[in-house]
């Protein structure tokens, strides 16, 4: 990823250029009199959520008696 530098003293004059660089996926280094202050990075491109049927197929196993009542000994009765 490329990088561009902007001095904060001139940032208001170059705001459109600053935002354009971010839109073009460019990292921007903000400086004050040549001293680095911050790095502004564009957010990662989001990919559409995809559902994969059967991704974890049979990852969870349920016993045959899952819905049977628990014995009284479980409840301490």
* pLDDT bracket for residue 57 (50, 70, 90): confident
Report if pTM > 0.75: no
Task: Give tens-digit pLDDT for 10-51.
Answer: 999 999 999 999 999 999 999 999 999 999 998 888 777 666
Quote the Cα angle for 54-59-64, to 5°: 110
Centre a 10 Å sphere on the Cβ of residue 52 and count the other Cβ atoms it contains. Answer: 6
- The first and second tokens of residue 70, run together, are 């628990």
Burial 56-73 (b: 16+ CB within 10 A, else e): eeeeeeeeeeeeeeeeee
Query: Would you say 6 and 31 are in contact if contact means Cβ atoms under 8 Å apart?
Result: yes
């Amino acid at each position: 990823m490329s990088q561009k530098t902007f001095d904060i003293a001139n940032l208001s004059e170059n705001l459109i250029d600053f935002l354009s660089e971010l839109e073009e996926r460019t990292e921007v280094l903000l400086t004050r009199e040549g001293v680095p202050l911050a790095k502004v990075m564009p957010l990662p491109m989001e990919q559409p959520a995809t559902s994969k049927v059967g991704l974890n197929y049979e990852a969870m196993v349920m016993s045959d008696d899952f819905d049977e009542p628990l014995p009284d000994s479980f409840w301490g009765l």
